[in-house]
A and B are shown apart, each in its own frame.
Chain A
Amino acid sequence: MLMQLTLSGASQGAIYALVALSLTVVYRSTTVVNFGHGDLVMSGAFVAYVLVVGLGLAFLPAAVIAVVAMFGLGVCFSRALIRPIRGGPHIGFALMSIALGYTLRGIARTVWGREVLPMPRVFDIDPIFLGDVVLTGDALFTIATVAVLLALFFALLAFTDVGKMVQAVYQSERGARLVGINVSRFHDLSWGTGAALGAVGGILIAPVSFLHPDLGASFLIKGFAAMTLGGFGSLGGAVLGGVVLGLAEQYAGAYIDTALIDITAYLLIILVLLVRPRGLFGRKAVVKV
């Protein structure tokens, strides 16, 4: 029982971790919290769905195309809509990202109405039984994909020049500009990366759950909850927070009450706020006057 819950919690948590990580990538590099992120996740899943069901592509090429498309969308959004209001107040960014998400949701609804779409099963391998634990293909694939992606991502940050550049911009934007890093382009690419990573999360969830245009809102809140728990702006913290949230949902649902699954994320946000507002790995914000 416990093992089974841990497995399903981990595969949910892996997806939350991706969503939280992609939110953090955008936040750390551009200081914009993307309130439309859930809808980007939803859009990625929808693009993959259309390619698979509408055009009859195989799952993997469809997924790759969807991720690339979402990367492009993220870059375009950053260039066309965020850059012009860069100098303005923070509320402008929030509104802009909400507006983007809302528009995407509207487009999805125009095309699909309010129906709920089942994605064809991808990993129709027979479940593996280990003692009394059932390993489904979906769960294994999700956990493996996210693990590989995260390993690549953090390796990129730790061992390459790209990672050095990212660190430089995180440390000081002005300093990074002075040593010749094109910070504006870096912002665009961060948006693209965030959108693409989020899309991967959406594509992974698609075969397991039903797709509908309002999918985004819950992903957004789960991503926020994971970020809050891990500490706002901490990349590793976002991943850990996501996994913890996934596990917490399953345990709370099984051992306390199934209705709790829906609100674990909200309770977690409020709890972290009351106990330790900066989360597990967040740094205390210092206000300079």
Chain B
Amino acid sequence: MSISPATLRLRTALFWALPVLACALPLATNPYTQFVLNSMLISTLLTLGFNMVIGSLGQLAFANVAFFGLGAYASVIAMNALGLPWLATIPLSGLVGAAGGFLASAVALRGIRLYYLAIVTLAFGELLRWLYIHADGLTGGTDGLALPRETFLGFRLGDDTAQFYVFLAVTVVLVKGTLNLLRSRLGRSIIAVRENEIATASLGIPTARVIVTAFMWSGFLVGVAGALFAAHIGRVFPESFGLTQLIVGFAMVLVGGTGSVLGSVLGAVLLTALPEYVRAFPGMEEIFFGLVVIVVLLCLPQGLASLLRRLSPVFLERHFRE
């Protein structure tokens, strides 16, 4: 299906209009909604990272939760130990996450796939969490680590509004980067590997390199999300990176649409906002996420992005076969 130039222009306009409009949001928020908005941006990066491996590459990697934690801890430790400013730790955390992704891809390339990969990465993530608790000299143990207070260009680091603009800029850049990656030859190869790895290899595409790329980019996104998360909460705890993050991330990927960038954003925004209404009751959040995943799997396996695609070609992502 071809897209007319007018539709393309409209899409580009839409893509850039959203963040520009979002810049005005802090004018109309109270501290609480500002906090939730910031959470949405972090969730967007997390979901993008999850979706890269789960949706685009079609592998079950549970380690992403672990890289999220790694990124957060790397950011705080770099600030405390090396005295780096927080902004400088963002790319650093991304690189730490990417290194984790590289490790996970090495496991995947040993022929350990799907469920087995999930189990191994699950074990790895839990092992890391145990390390956060027991290496208390470095990580503060169960009490976690507080961020140092610093100011940047006159903003205090803990100021949610100032953080919002940083988060927004980072998120927009990485969403655009992910879109570009998926439209590139390499990104197409990721989709091809998901569809049929053997056929892809027989076309002369270096599948190993493709898998490593997908894992590393996923790790990078999640690592960056970790650095943002550390500043957002102001403290990192081992508990924040447990298995709960996993179902939340999965639900966001699924509700938005697996393998869809637009879906990652949609899912993250929606599923960050909705649970705020059920948070008052213990256990409600778990039931909510569980039921959302079940209903979406049964009724709308392609997620919300597929609904939008049906409405208008503006939302058609080019790495989709329609």
Contact = CB atoms under 8 A, between A and B. Distances in A.
A99 B290 contact: yes
B292 to A, nearest CB: 8
B124 A270 contact: yes
Interface of B: 54, 58, 60, 107, 110-112, 114-116, 118-120, 122-124, 126-127, 130, 134, 198, 242-243, 246-247, 250-251, 254, 258, 281-291, 293-294, 297-298, 301
Contacts of A103: 286-287, 290-291, 294
The main secondary structure of chain B at its interface with chain A is helix
21 contacts: A85-B297, A89-B58, A91-B58, A95-B254, A95-B293, A95-B297, A96-B294, A100-B290, A102-B293, A106-B289, A106-B290, A108-B283, A110-B281, A221-B122, A221-B123, A224-B122, A224-B123, A266-B123, A269-B120, A273-B107, A277-B112
The main secondary structure of chain A at its interface with chain B is helix
A109 B258 contact: no
A259 interface: yes
Contacts of B247: 98-99, 102
A219 interface: no
Contact of A109 (B243, B254, B282, B291): B282
Interface in A98-129: 98-111, 113-114
Nearest to A84: B298
B123 A259 contact: no
A85 B127 contact: no
| Across the A-B interface, the 9 shortest Cβ-Cβ residue pairs | A106-B286, A103-B290, A109-B283, A110-B283, A106-B287, A99-B293, A102-B290, A269-B123, A266-B123
Interface residues of A, number: 48
B100 to A, nearest CB: 14
A146 interface: no
A232 interface: yes
Contacts of B246: 98
A33 B118 contact: yes
A283 to B, nearest CB: 14
Given A89-B58, A110-B287, A225 B123 contact: yes
Contacts of B301: 85, 88, 92
A90 B287 CA distance: 23
Contacts of A266: 123-124, 126-127, 130
A225 B122 CA distance: 11
A224 B119 contact: yes
